[in-house]
Amino acid sequence: MTAPASPSSAATPAPAGTHARRQGLGAVTLAAIGVVYGDIGTSPLYTMKAIFAPHTGVTLNHPHIVGAVSTIFWALMLVVTLKYVILILRADNNGEGGGLALTALASMAVHDRPRLRQALLLLGVFGAALFYGDSVITPAISVLGAVEGLEIATPALRPFVLPITVAVLAGLFALQRFGTAAVGRLFGPVILLWFVVLAGAGLVHVWRQPAILAALNPLQAWRFLHGHGVYALATVGAVVLALTGAEALYADMGHFGPKPIRMAWMGLVLPALALNYMGQGALLMRDAASITNPFYRLFPDSWLIAAIVLATLAAIIASQAVISGAYSMTRQAMLLGFLPRMTTRFTSAREAGQIYMPAVNAALLAGVLAAVLHFGSSAALGAAYGIAVTLTMAITTVLTYFVIHDGWHMSRSLALAATGFFLAIDAILVAGCLIKFFDGGWFPLALGLLIFTAMSTWRRGRGLLLARIHQQGQELKPFIESLDPKSLHRVARAAVYPVADPTTVPQAMLHNMKHFQVIHERNVILTVNVKEVAWVPLAQRIEVENLGRNFWLVTLHFGFMNTPDVPAALPLAGSHGLELSALETSYFLSRETVVPTPGLGMVAWREHLFATMSRNAGGVVEFLRLPDNAVVELGTRVQI
């Protein structure tokens, strides 16, 4: 259900904000700029062009330009600033943020209502699945939008845009196995320079055309949307492009803490984005022909190549943040039991969060390249972008309501006031993106639904499997009492049996007794429990119960951001009277082979899907960090 752990995983990782205290607020804020804001920072590459695309029906004239810029600015203020920076960042799960962290928080808040809790879990998992659609589109549209600047430099390079984009993306994914520790130090300075350039380039054109400052009036946004009638939704669907990446503010809270993220947004990112969008609007007011690529037209010809290089670097960094986020999301989903175990490699001895997942990397690369080659341009990808993002935003708002009302015990009216306004905005954004469904919006939505089907099938299948094992198994305590010490040969070692159900006798133990007629001197029934909290401290890591006759029941508790490491955690049992020597301990695993059976559990295709996922799941040995030379695996077949 999870990934392998780092060698230091028995220690409790630092909660959010610790990095800020250790490195200084300025250094962490700079790092947050590089990691958190790469995605939303590259939105100026394509947003204005998308708003005035032919399918939106928006005429390119002065009032519409001012209205479009005003709509973007106030969308940033309402959705990003008020919703995420001020409200959502307060909903932390032991310092952690992100869709699954919020889902766990909301489900714990309604733990006394099982049906509602299950519904919120499924809703949150659906939101997490939609994140993968974003993880495919973001690298494709960001890198493609940056490389398209070559067309502005010289039209002769147009045939090379797609090959260069594919090469850049393939190189980016190929480098993932080496980790981001080395290049990660450059993320902050490069994105800092990027935002400075965004602000400077925009300011120059605002200075030349100060009439664009009228966009600061929210009435301009209202008139712009209200005046377009049915076409307003198409315009909203394009404006959404300016908001992509807003979820990263919350998802990366555990890495940096809320204060650096807020400081970076208010002090640099928001002003830079506002100036650049107003600069593009000012440019279009003076030269409507610049709509072919209003971002790159901000720069004089002598600066164009440098701007393309910087934009490509910013797009790569934005893509890296999304790729790393996909790894983290997958790992959390595995720990919470929504995905099977997958091979995970830790690429940094110092930062436990820096991981590489080959299967996820390969799947993302295939999806990204398919998106680039199928859509062919950032304008076409813009039509595919938005549905997954806005649905995730709406799900976040719904979950936040239950956190405020049931978790923080605020009044219903206050919770509705805090979230109802944002949910109305989310609904408008979703509606604006849904009209792009047949123009490409189906792509990330289909991808999200596919992943949600896999996640829900795995969760349901694991439940059926455990229920079947319990049904077929023997009760543990009566079994221990029935043992005749004289009839079995005792081996002078300790045996650890990792199990999902600690109430029944492990199948591996039964096989040991049946085939070898032996039982070990000390027998540990081990359960690994992943809680719906981010971190579990060492003081709460282990529970030990002496069952008598040299049998112990040991439960290890981890959070979904901890990394289970059984050999590192078992020495904690010494304080409970259970001494285990690593050299004298063997681990016996029960490997279940799932046999789909008509009429017992799920529909046939889901049972076969679960069986396939189970066969291809990563090993428990890697999951629990068990020593290879001390593990014995024994198989059993289970019908579901």
Q: Is the pLDDT of residue 304 over 60?
A: yes
* Same domain, residue pair 401 and 522: no
The DSSP string of 584-635 is: GEEEEEEEEEEE--TTTSS-HHHHHHHHHHHHTSPPHHHHHT--GGGEEEEE
Tell me if 106 is assigned to some domain: yes
Q: What is the pLDDT of residue 349?
A: 52
Q: Is the pLDDT of residue 11 over 50?
A: no
Residues 6+ apart with CB under 8 A from 517: 488, 489
Lowest-pLDDT choice from 155-159, 430-434, 482-486, 508-512: 482-486
More confident residue, 10 or 509: 509
On the 0-12 / 13-18 / 19+ scale of CB atoms within 10 A, 21 is exposed
* Same domain, residue pair 396 and 525: no
Tokens linked to 86: 């001020």
Confidence of residue 239 (pLDDT cuts 50, 70, 90): very high
Q: Is the pLDDT of residue 582 over 70?
A: yes
* Same domain, residue pair 423 and 541: no
Tell me if 448 is assigned to some domain: no
Tell me if 439 is assigned to some domain: no
Residue 593 region, left (φ>0) first, then alpha (ψ -120 to 50), else beta? beta
Tell me if 480 is assigned to some domain: yes
The angle, 0 to 180 degrees and rounded to 10, between the axes of the packed helices 442-472 and 358-375 is 150
Name the pTM for this structure: 0.80
Q: Is the pLDDT of residue 628 over 50?
A: yes
3-state secondary structure of 252: coil
Q: What is the pLDDT of residue 4?
A: 32
* Same domain, residue pair 260 and 179: yes
Confidence of residue 552 (pLDDT cuts 50, 70, 90): very high
Domains in the chain: how many in total?
2
3-state secondary structure of 380: helix
Tokens linked to 136: 């495919």
Tell me if 4 is assigned to some domain: no
Domain boundary among 399, 432, 465: 432
Q: Residue 66 is part of a domain; what is its CATH number?
A: 1.20.1740
The helix (H) or strand (E) run that includes residue 337 is none
* Same domain, residue pair 267 and 393: yes
* Same domain, residue pair 490 and 385: no
Tell me if 450 is assigned to some domain: no
What range does the domain containing 483 cover?
474-639
Tell me if 253 is assigned to some domain: yes
More confident residue, 597 or 611: 611
* Same domain, residue pair 524 and 419: no
For 34-77, what is each residue's pLDDT tens digit? 878 888 999 999 899 989 988 778 889 999 999 999 999 999 99
DSSP 551: E
Q: Is the pLDDT of residue 13 over 70?
A: no
Domain boundary among 378, 410, 432: 432
* Same domain, residue pair 234 and 114: yes
Q: What is the mean pLDDT of residues 511-528?
A: 85
Tell me if 508 is assigned to some domain: yes
3-state secondary structure of 222: helix
More confident residue, 133 or 371: 371
401 Cα distance to chain centroid? 21
Domain boundary among 400, 432, 464: 432
Distance CA 212, CA 227 (A): 19
For 450-478, what is each residue's pLDDT tens digit? 999 999 999 998 888 888 877 877 888 88
